[in-house]
A and B are shown apart, each in its own frame.
Chain A
Amino acid sequence: MFKKWREKKVEDTKNIEEQPNTSPEKTNWVEELSRSNDFVNDHTSSEKTEPFWISYFRTLVMSETLHRDVVPYLSESHSLDRVKNNIPIQQTIVTSDKKLIKEKLLQGFAAIRLTEQDTKCLLVNVANNKFRDISFPMMESTALGPQAGYVEEMDTNINLIRKHLPSSDLHVKEMQIGKLSSTKVAVIYMDSIADKDNVETVLQRINDVQYDHISDSSYLASMIEDNTNSLFPQIIPTERTDRTIAALTEGKIVIVVDGSPDVLIAPITLAESVVAMEDYYVPWLIANYLRLIRLFGLCVSLIISPLYIAVLTYHYELIPAKLLDSLVASRAAVPFPPIIEVLILEISVEFIKESSLRLPTKIGTTLGIVGGIVIGQAIVEAKLTSSILIILVGLSTLASYTSAIYKFNNSVRLVKYPIIVMAQLLGLIGIVIGLNFLLAHLLRLTSLGRPYIGFYPFRKNMFKDLWVRLPFWMQKENPDNLRPQVKQKAVFDRRSPGPPSDFDE
């Protein structure tokens, strides 16, 4: 059964490949494109026989550029080559390839022809690329550090990267994917550092992508991930420039997708989820403390509700005598078993979160307050859950957002549910079985074929930045798990030069 299904799938993909050849090539591109009302096909002089004919998509071009840098030069010259030489725009092509013309027109080029029937035409880039200005990173804000977030436009994003890394080593490989959307994708890496295999893998996988449209980098990420069924993101999106720069210098690969303010980083490890860029802007001890807090937060959010269920459903022995009174008395009147109690609260927290996320900020905040305080209070007073559980679920919700990666937060929230069910089934043993499945899953996961979990296989220098943030002079090596070609970072060691001095000298 499985085999047949797979064969069918292969046939389907073949069909998709054949489609482009059947599209009508014979019809005139002007006629074809004129069906859209925003297509302009104008004649620049009053005489019908005189040049030029100019055609473009009104909605795609920057009319200012068109009128300033193209139209004035048309009247001065009489051949396409002359025009090409005259106009102060560098991106020009002279071609008669219909397919190319169509493609370029759809990207915001203007086509200039001598006569209406000409096949040969000059393509000038007058595309309107302005989306919006660079702004603050909204999802990954920090108090310190650069506040430039990526925008929806690829060239601007690459520009941001190049500005920070003015090196000939920085290679950018551009491609187009998406049958209908023809989205531009750029794969960026440091040629001398990044592992060749990793680059090969990324390019190969992007090339293999077949889909109608790529709306966001997340589309691409989930298409080229190693295991698409996993809850954990194996390629992380970021909108922070500093994160991408750091990733590039370590030998990671960065993928920029046109139209998406999120830039992808691969390969990554689990540890990256607790690393915030702010760690590098504060003293290293504080950074490690913050990392520990985040890691602890992850554990707490994963384990606290299941533990509550397990202890109160099966293992009342675990409760110390002094705690027994408050824990049991607080839910003496609750008519439900702990699992229902936990599910009621966990799901209502999800409701609050979902509803306030989809609303404008102001309403969202109000809604959060109403949901959190009013409902929480009422639920306890109505004796539907115990007040201690409200505290625990509140804590675990807070803790589940401590990770620096938004995508990872979501996985943590979902991973908790199977463990809750296991806790109900088998108490503590159930929790451990659930966690073991999680561990096995993480061990199996790979990111671009590199182990995802981060501490296995064990490499000494992994602890030097991946898990523990050491002072800069101690971070001498690039992490081994990326198989970087350059092992050593250029590190300035303030301690080594100069003669040794004693305390009082």
Chain B
Amino acid sequence: MKYYLLTISIVILFVLSGCQIVPTQNTNEISIIQGVGFDLTSDEKLLGTIVYPEYRVDETSKVEILKAEGDTVQETIDRSQNEVQYPLVSGQLRLVLFGQKLAEKGLYPIIDTIRRTPEIANTIQLAVIEGEASELLSIKKYGKENIALYLSDMIRQNARIGELPTTDLAIFSYNYHNDGNDPYLPLLKKEKDKIKINGIGLLKDDRLITTLPVKDVFTLKMLIERFKLGTHQYKLSEDEFVVISNIKSTPHYEVKVNKGIPEFTITIKMDARLQEYRSIDRGPTDKKKVKQLQVQIKNKIEQDAARIIMFLQENGVDPIGLGSKYEAHYRDFDLRKWEEQYPNVEVKVNADIEMVHTGVVE
């Protein structure tokens, strides 16, 4: 008897609350944001560009673009909200783009907002745009493709099998927060009416300092992370090219502290496969030849790496995380002192290339 009363009272309670304790987010009554871009306007305001698909009956979905200005991220969304049928929600966000000007001024306020929002995943892709994010997102050609998904897949695929180092929000915020690491983001560029990856944007704290061109990205990736797959071309002489396909590449770091000044030795261990070889010499790629190529590629990598590291040191950015390696090694690590030391520390790079095979022919 008592139980009936209890059950009935609970049921009544729920019915009275309209069978709805929390507001619903019924999928066909929300506008699902899939990508956003932020730019800095001439009067130092944020220009937000929102990409969301609109699902229609008997039609393929159409991607809508909204633009609005505001002082905070939320304001740009609120202003955009005034133009849409259903509430904008951010739980399916896949891509956040930053205009170059904004990136140079600092990204932290936006990244912080994103991280603060629980419905946004940690795996979303971030990228810096050479030029304006809003311009890039509104390219007509990608209107049917859903540009947000297109770009985030593009970045992810290029990181998985291409030259780009893996990046996403989680990695960015790790690098941002960790002492002795500087974040890096892929750099996209609009060229005519196409979008392409145009290198890596290097940041100090949350500000874009400089960029690294596409041809150096592979070498940077070798210095940063352990990875499989990816191909790279080396120009050995005027008309001799070799392309190797990476099977497995691992960087090893060695830190020696000499009178308070660290010295780094980075050894890149790489198993590779000969993918393509182009030269006047049409001879077979036999053992001797491969040995010779191996040495040449090794030298090439070491030169490239040394040059890139020099470039990084000049700009005072540390995407490789030499500082964190130093910190892990050295108990009396002092961040400020390290930042003074960084441009002048000695970094040696050894490449250890093992040509595992040359494909099905020799």
* Physical interaction between A and B: yes
Question: Which residues does A use to contact B, with CB under 8 Å?
Answer: 1-2, 5, 312-317, 319, 321, 324-325, 327-329, 331-334, 337-338, 383, 424-427
Report B13 CB to chain A, min CB distance, Å: 11
Q: Complex formed: what's the CA distance from A314 to B24 in Å?
A: 6
**A321 lies within 8 A of B34 (CB):** yes
Contact of B14 among A316, A325, A425 (CB under 8 A): A425
Contact of A327 among B27, B56, B121, B149 (CB under 8 A): B27
Report B148 CB to chain A, min CB distance, Å: 9
Interface flag for B119 (CB, 8 Å)? yes
Q: Complex formed: what's the CA distance from A426 to B60 in Å?
A: 32
Task: Provide the residues of chain B in CB contact with A331, threshold 8 Å.
Answer: 27-28
Closest to B21 in A: A425
A selection of 23 A-B contacts at a CB cut-off of 8 Å is A2-B1, A313-B24, A313-B26, A315-B25, A316-B32, A317-B119, A319-B92, A321-B34, A321-B92, A324-B32, A325-B53, A325-B55, A328-B55, A329-B55, A329-B61, A332-B56, A332-B57, A334-B28, A337-B24, A337-B26, A424-B19, A425-B19, A426-B22
Report B3 CB to chain A, min CB distance, Å: 10
Q: Complex formed: what's the CA distance from A334 to B94 in Å?
A: 26
Interface flag for B89 (CB, 8 Å)? yes
Closest to A335 in B: B28
Interface flag for B30 (CB, 8 Å)? yes
**A314 lies within 8 A of B119 (CB):** no
Interface flag for B213 (CB, 8 Å)? no
**A328 lies within 8 A of B14 (CB):** no
CB-CB under 8 A for A312 and B26, given A2-B2, A5-B1, A324-B32: yes
- Chain A at the B interface: SS class: helix
Task: Provide the residues of chain A in CB contact with B25, threshold 8 Å.
Answer: 313-316
Q: Complex formed: what's the CA distance from A321 to B119 in Å?
A: 14
**B32 lies within 8 A of A328 (CB):** yes
Interface flag for B91 (CB, 8 Å)? yes
**A317 lies within 8 A of B91 (CB):** yes
Q: Most A CB atoms within 10 A — which of B19, B28, B30, B53?
A: B28
13 other A-B residue contacts (CB within 8 Å) besides A2-B2, A325-B55, A424-B19: A315-B25, A316-B27, A317-B91, A317-B119, A324-B32, A324-B92, A328-B27, A329-B60, A332-B28, A425-B19, A425-B20, A425-B21, A427-B22
5 shortest interchain CB distances as A-B pairs:
A317-B91, A332-B55, A333-B57, A329-B55, A328-B27
Task: Provide the residues of chain B in CB contact with A317, threshold 8 Å.
Answer: 91-92, 119, 121
Q: Complex formed: what's the CA distance from A324 to B152 in Å?
A: 15
Task: Provide the residues of chain B in CB contact with A325, threshold 8 Å.
Answer: 53, 55, 61
Chain A proximity mask over B77-118: 1 for CB below 8 Å, otherwise 0: 000000000000101101000000000000000000000000
Report B119 CB to chain A, min CB distance, Å: 5
Task: Provide the residues of chain B in CB contact with A312, threshold 8 Å.
Answer: 26-27
Q: Complex formed: what's the CA distance from A5 to B4 in Å?
A: 15
Task: Provide the residues of chain B in CB contact with A425, threshold 8 Å.
Answer: 14, 19-21
Report B319 CB to chain A, min CB distance, Å: 28
**B21 lies within 8 A of A426 (CB):** yes
Q: Complex formed: what's the CA distance from A433 to B97 in Å?
A: 40
Q: Complex formed: what's the CA distance from A503 to B119 in Å?
A: 59
Q: Complex formed: what's the CA distance from A337 to B29 in Å?
A: 9
Task: Provide the residues of chain A in CB contact with B89, threshold 8 Å.
Answer: 316
Q: Complex formed: what's the CA distance from A1 to B4 in Å?
A: 14
Task: Provide the residues of chain A in CB contact with B28, threshold 8 Å.
Answer: 328, 331-332, 334
Report A67 CB to chain B, min CB distance, Å: 60
Q: Complex formed: what's the CA distance from A324 to B91 in Å?
A: 12
**A321 lies within 8 A of B24 (CB):** no
CB-CB under 8 A for A383 and B57, given A312-B27, A317-B91, A324-B92: yes
Q: Complex formed: what's the CA distance from A315 to B60 in Å?
A: 23
Contact of B26 among A2, A324, A333, A338 (CB under 8 A): A338
Q: Most B CB atoms within 10 A — which of A329, A334, A383, A424?
A: A329
Chain A proximity mask over B3-37: 1 for CB below 8 Å, otherwise 0: 00000000000100001111011111010101000
Interface hits, B267-314 → A, CB 8 Å: none
Q: Complex formed: what's the CA distance from A313 to B24 in Å?
A: 6
Q: Complex formed: what's the CA distance from A324 to B24 in Å?
A: 18
Task: Provide the residues of chain B in CB contact with A332, threshold 8 Å.
Answer: 28, 55-57
Closest to A324 in B: B92
